Structure 1
Amino acid sequence: MRARYNKKGQQGNKKGEKMLGAKSASRKYVREPGYRQLDDEQYAGFTDNDIPMEPTIRAFNRRPTGFEHLGALEAEFIEDLHNGDAETKTDLHLFVQSLSKCLGATKFGLSFEFQDLGFKPPKSAKPILSDVSGAINAGSLWGVMGASGAGKSTFVNVLMGKTAHTGGITKVNGVAGKISKYKKIIGCVPQDDIVLPELTVRENILHSARIRLPSNWTDSEIQNHVDILISCLKLAHVQDSLVGSTGAPVISGGQRKRVSIGMELAAAPMALFLDEPTSGLDATAAASIMATLKALSRLGMTIVTIIHQPRQEIFESLDSLVLLGAGRMIYCAPQADMQPHFESLGFQFPDHTNPADVMGDIIAGEGRHYKANGDATVQGLIDHWATRQKDPGSLNKHASTISVAGMKSLSTTVRQRGAPWYKQIWFCYQRSLLQQYRMKSSFFFELGVGALAGFLIGLAELNAKGQNFRGIFNDPYEMLSSSIDYASVPQMSLLVGLSIGLTASAPGVKIFGEEKLVYWREAAAGHNRFAYYMGKVLSTIPRMVLANFHFTTMFILLATPVIGWFPAFAANLLYFYCIYGLASCISMITRREDGPLLAVMMSLIVGVLNGMSPTLKKVRSWHIVWIWRASPGTWLAEAYFTENIAPLASIYRIEFARDALGYLLNKFSHDLLMLLVIGTALRIFAFLGLRFMWRAKQR
């Protein structure tokens, strides 16, 4: 419940609020041994770039506007930290302690410098970004603003190393190099809330913490850190609620945005970049998000946010601004100096207007409305700032320097981040299983389709009564032989292969292909890509086993072939394995909506290439038998051929059937091994596609 404040901004009436619900009571964190309250003197000791942090978090000075939401929410954070109830006060203090423990130092923020930064796409005639220089100080809240097409997102992506710049120098804490190597300690919140809808609020945040926090942290320490963070983000009352999708939301848009931010804060980053964190939110939710970011910046974290048309309260909560126009720098300095800067150029800010709106019009090329005479163009603003930058006395000289020992400590912090790859496999495996459990309807549908496919194929073979082969009798009974039937077993294996393909191809695409955005976000944050993929692969094994059990059982009961249940189960399971691998390859190279259809088509193709018609003997004469041998359908047919024909060797001359069709006999183990090899090779190709396709999105 929002507290009430008097005209001076002081809290008039405030009630304590329980942060943890009944469901989370068992997970309440406790003070660690030796814990003590952090007082203002301790905060005064936090410094970055030789600039002492504010000893207290002060309310922001702003003109009365009639909108007091942001002020109340900011004051709530302030009062929580200093005069609020003990429980919430402990949340913020413990979060500071947790950050300090994670970073191994009291410097929570990173500073960034960029000189003559530029970016020109390979096929573009002109650069999107050029000659952009400035510095972003640690422990502050920065806003990146500009008109559409001004280069805001490009600037942030180039600065973070997500897009390779074509000119200029970037520095972290005064040391030149690629910022992308620090991605384990830099958080990035995309504009779209990329979260897993099947997981709860807490599960989404906890997974990020387990993957990205230092490897020497125990699970209890991670759980404690997540509990603190959830309380600080005011998500405790919905922490056990599913996130839901944007089409079918379970929690509100503001809470969903907080979850997205919490997934990055769970990793205890030293800097946080956000792409329009208030986009699509109502005024209250937007103000709440910005109040949270402001409080985090006052704890020492460097926060850079792309923001579009902010309300006055939100605009004035920013510490500094980066203003861009036509891919060039217009302004890079404190927010409080923005209006005087433009007024010095002859622009007039009307009374009772939002300075952010006026500024937005000016940098969008509509400056003539606020400047009757003289140059009011965007190019004029760019030229003026470029001239000012050449004057050493007018530049903001807060560039960070760092000692050799400090740089080594920072490198050590980066190396220690992240769970070992084998633990990441386990975490990703658990998460994927949980997703499948939450999507029970899809799982049961696959089991039902498998059972129905087995039932239908069994009905198709019912009239044969298990007699799927007639050959030439052994000596001396050749003359008693009737018409031969060599094709029934390959036909049966064809039906089995097609049925498994139809059953497994679409679910295989769904498991691997619907989370590219999640994978790209996690890869860009430093997750182990191999661990992510292996977790997904291992989680499909129980699904394949159960679907194959229903299919094989129904098929064997009705068709009663010579092949036994266990050999058929093994061969069919490995064919499921191959189809899932094929589906994963398809999912990596196609759009989400096209994947299922293309996977079904490819499963039909590999099923038809089973050596029945044309026979393997025929394609050998064409010298393209390798195409058929590359198909798992051929190895499945050969395995069925061996298990259905070999037991009849005492009656028929089965070598005649072997020579007529081109299959090899008595190679059942070899056939199963080749199915395993093909399925594994398909997964390797899929992983290579996952790893090396769309590389820019994984930076």
Structure 2
Amino acid sequence: MHNNLTKNLSGGQRKRVNVAMEVAACPKVLLLDEPTSGLDTASCDDLFDLLELIKYSAAGPVTIITVIHQPSQELFEKIDDIFFLTPLCCLAYQGPRHQAKEFLKQKLFDDLNRCPTSRHNDCDTCFIMLTKAQEHIDNHSVEDERVHQPLTTYPILKRIFLPFFYVLSRCVRQIYIRGAIVEALYLLAYFVLGTCIGYLFENAQQDECDIKSLPTIYFLLSLAFGILTCISSQRLFGVEITDQTFERESRNYYHPFQYWLAKSLVDIIRLVLYPLLFLSMMYIEIVPRGSFAYYFAILILLSFVCSGIGQLASVIFSRTEYAYLTGTIAALLSCLLSGFSPPKADLGRMGFITAISFSRHVQNSLFHHETSLYVENGTDRTYIWSVQIESLRKYYSFEDNEHPYIWLLCIGLFLRLLTLLFLYGKSEYRSKFRFHITHAVPFLTSLFSCHQCRKRSPARAYARPHQLQIFSYQQSYRNIF
């Protein structure tokens, strides 16, 4: 895209486009290597006008460091501080631009008669003096009055909260303002999906009181809601991971934890809104005996776990199609290995795998809560219901000591911890901790490989003369022929 943009531009326009692209991220320091090379006078003036605007940007002052050859007098006067090097790369001058010519004249020439005559361009005069001066000179610099001014930095609280609120506000704009149409489509999808599941089991618990249908309802509820949530939650990190925005901005701007925390806070709205829309029509059509608040709380826990699966998949994979496929398969496997079909007893030694299934814990919690309401009031059908409930509990192994609420909460937290670790691994945030970790691997490798011991080993000492002897034979053989 960049090549297509700059292909038909002139040299000066191309330079301005490149500079504009470099400052798009609002850097504090801008390094330019010969920005005026190949430009005419008008283009050089336009480029320096642009640099003046960048230098006094409203977002904060920008330090511009550039290497430049043969600037005009007008461009030379726009430079604040300047460095001059001798032909042998010794520092000849460092300091304010307006003091450079007089300083070099006094330091480089003991006899002022040997000093070259001044030219119209002060920069050319300094260049000529440097070429005619002695080759080996001491480093010279002039202190500027601005050197002693304190560096403007933000206090620690601003450094913590400013990047956090920046990511927070940007995420709100991206999801709920710019992506309002996509968000509305997802809200509609949750509403329609809840309506369809409610229609399949309309009044199944209220009129017929068919307790045998309860596990099927809970299985389909967790399956449909879980897959849709795994897909919809990948928009939180997926876009900025795919286009590598997160990697570029994490170099100098924010810590991965600030980024993750801001995104997670924005996602709380969807953690509550999606279950509410999904449950609104389904609860009315099924009419369960449990309260709406209880079903809503269970769906929030389910949303907490499934959104964690989707976020983790979007962070691991840089391609969107891989992330969507992985999230969908993970949700599907969690439902298939929930102990519904086949039941947990038929899994044998693999029955422990149901502990990490979010569908298992949702089914277990809803089944225990709903069936307890059937037998709490002594009615004529209480005994029949008790027999059916006990039969289903044994068949699906719905035990009381599984602690489904704690498992759902722990799984969701563990998935978010993994997401944070993968974000930290993908980021380019520089810190002392990261420096020591990245440099520990080569150090440990050198300890186990023990290169120094190999160099000192007797085997190598005896091998070297043998190798030299073979080399001498080969050389003699070549000389003969």
| Superposition TM-score tier, normalisation by shorter sequence | 0.5 to 0.7
Equivalent residue for 2:316? 589
Q: Which residues of 2 match residues 68-83 of structure 1 at below 5 A?
A: none
The structure that is strand-richer by fraction is: 1
Who is 2:463 aligned against? none
Query: Residues 628 and 545 (structure 1 numbering): CA distance in 2 closer, same or farther, change over 3 Å?
Result: same
**TM-superposition CA deviations, 1:47-91 (whole Å, max 9, x none):** xxxxxxxxxxxxxxxxxxxx9989xxxxxxxxxxxxxxxxxxxxx
Identity of matched residues, %? 22
Q: State whether structure 2 residue 424 is matched by structure 1 residue 691.
A: yes
Relative to structure 1, the CA distance from residue 304 to residue 554 in structure 2 (aligned partners, 3 Å threshold; closer, same or farther) is: farther
2-structure distance, mates of 1:611, 1:459: 25
In structure 2, C-alpha distance between the alignment counterparts of 1:525 and 1:259, rounded to whole Å: 14
Question: Residue 657 and residue 527 in structure 1: after superposition, are their counterparts in 2 closer, same or farther (change >3 A)?
Answer: same
**CA drift at 1:301:** 5.5
Does the 8 Å contact 1:428/1:535 carry over to 2?
A: yes
Show the counterpart of 1:506: 231
For 1:531 and 1:429, how far apart are their aligned partners in 2? 9
Amino acid at match of 1:525: N
Partner of 2:273: 546
Deviation at 1:528, TM superposition (A): 3.0
For 1:615 and 1:499, locate their aligned partners in 2 and report how far apart those are by CA, in whole Å.
20
RMSD: 4.9
Describe the shift of the 1:330–1:593 C-alpha distance in structure 2 as closer, same or farther (beyond 3 A).
farther
Distance 2:224 2:45 in 1: 55
CA offset digits 1:301-327 (Å, max 9, x no partner) = 5424799xx9x99xx889899xxxxxx
- 2:447 maps to none
Deviations 1:481-512 (A, max 9, x none): xxxx3xx3232222112211232222211111
**C-alpha separation in 1, matches of 2:290 and 2:12:** 73
* Residues 497, 661 of structure 1: alpha-carbon distance in 2 compared, 3 angstrom cutoff: same
TM-score, with normalisation over the residues of structure 1? 0.43
Contact 1:606 1:632 in 2 (8 A): yes
Give the direction of change, closer, same or farther, for the CA distance of 1:296–1:544 in structure 2 (3 Å limit).
closer
Residue 603 (structure 1) aligns with: 331
Q: Distance in 1 between matches of 2:318 and 2:42?
A: 36
Matched, 1:291 2:291: no
In structure 2, the gaps of 5 or more residues are 1-9, 94-130, 376-381, 435-481
Matched residue SS, 1:455: helix
Which digits, 9 at most, give the CA deviation of each residue in 1:452-485, with x for residues without a partner?
11011112222735579767xxxxxxxxxxxxx3
Q: Which of 150, 164, 171 is residue 432 of structure 1 equivalent to?
A: 171
Q: Is the 8 A contact 1:467 1:561 kept in 2?
A: no
8 Å contact from structure 2 (residues 203, 285) kept in 1: no
Q: Please say if residues 658 and 665 of structure 1, whose CA atoms lie closer than 8 Å, have aligned partners that are also in contact.
A: no
**From 136, 150, 153, the counterpart of 1:393:** 136
2:64 is paired with a residue whose SS is strand
AA matched with 1:652: S
For residues 149-184 of structure 1, what are the alpha-carbon distances to aligned partners after superposition, in whole Å with 9 as ceiling and x for unaligned? xxxxxxxxxxxxxxxxxxxxxxxxxxxxxxxxxxxx
1:616 and 2:347 aligned? no
- Report the equivalent of 1:49: none
**Deviation digits for residues 602-652 of structure 1 (CA, Å, limit 9, x no counterpart):** 222223332202222333x31x33322112121111112112222223441
Is contact 2:301-2:409 (8 Å) kept?
yes
Long gaps (5+) in structure 1: 1-66, 71-142, 144-190, 192-252, 322-328, 335-387, 472-484
Instruction: Map 1:563-574 onto structure 2 (within 5 A).
Output: 563-574=290-301
- The partner residue of 1:644 within 363, 367, 370 is 370
1:665, 1:562 → 2: CA distance?
A: 20
**Bigger helix fraction:** 2
Distance 2:42 2:226 in 1: 51
Q: Which amino acid aligns with 2:174?
A: Q
CA contact (8 A) 1:658 1:664 kept: yes
Q: Is the 8 A contact 1:641 1:665 kept in 2?
A: no
How far apart, CA to CA, are the structure 2 residues paired with 1:616 and 1:469?
A: 25
Residues 17-53 of structure 1 show CA distances to partners (whole Å, capped at 9, x for unaligned) of xxxxxxxxxxxxxxxxxxxxxxxxxxxxxxxxxxxxx
> Radius of gyration: which is bigger?
2
Q: 1:535 to 1:277 in 2, by over 3 A?
A: farther
Contact map agreement 2:12 2:47 (CA 8 A) in 1: no
Contact 2:251 2:427 in 1 (8 A): no
Query: Secondary structure of 1:563's match?
Result: coil
